[in-house]
Amino acid sequence: MSSTFSKPEANRALPANLKALRELRKLTQAELGDRAQMGAASVSHFETGQRVPSLESLVRLADALQVSVDTLLGRAPVEARAGLDPIFLRASRANARTLETVRRVTAALLDEADNT
């Protein structure tokens, strides 16, 4: 099976996407590093393209930013999920019962806000 995705594309997309997502979350490089269990210098090197993260580091960065690895690599649009609040991203991955509870609570809060 052949892939149309090449390493040079990942090397170009990753630094820009990583920085944009970090800034969108209003995180410093040190804060993202803490969340991803790595140093701020590593985050800086990845953002500038000086180094390419290992698969393990890539997964930790994606988890820390609450996006998919595909989003970090430019295989999925950043805009598709990045603008969503991380709590809604977590809720979207919840089981059906939890998701229904989130829907009911959210609807009640929005109804209350509309009535004030």
Give the pLDDT confidence of 40-65 residue by residue, as tens digits: 999 999 999 999 999 999 999 999 99
Q: What is the pLDDT of residue 61?
A: 96
Mean per-residue pLDDT, 69-93: 71
Average pLDDT of the chain is: 82
Selected residue with higher pLDDT from 67 and 39? 39
Q: Residue 19 — very low, low, confident or very high, per pLDDT cuts 50/70/90?
A: very high
Alpha helical stretches, state H, the chain? 7-24, 29-36, 40-48, 55-65, 69-73, 78-82, 86-92, 96-114
Say how far apart CA 31 and CA 11 lie, in whole Å.
23
pLDDT in tens, 89-101: 677 667 888 888 8
Mean per-residue pLDDT, 76-81: 60
* 6: pLDDT strictly greater than 50: no
Instruction: List Cα–Cα distances, 93 to 4, 8, 116, in angstroms.
Output: 28, 31, 31
Q: What is the pLDDT of residue 50?
A: 93
Q: What is the pLDDT of residue 35?
A: 95
Q: How many CA atoms does the CB half-sphere of 33 hold within 13 Å? A: 13
State how far Cα 113 lies from the chain centre: 29
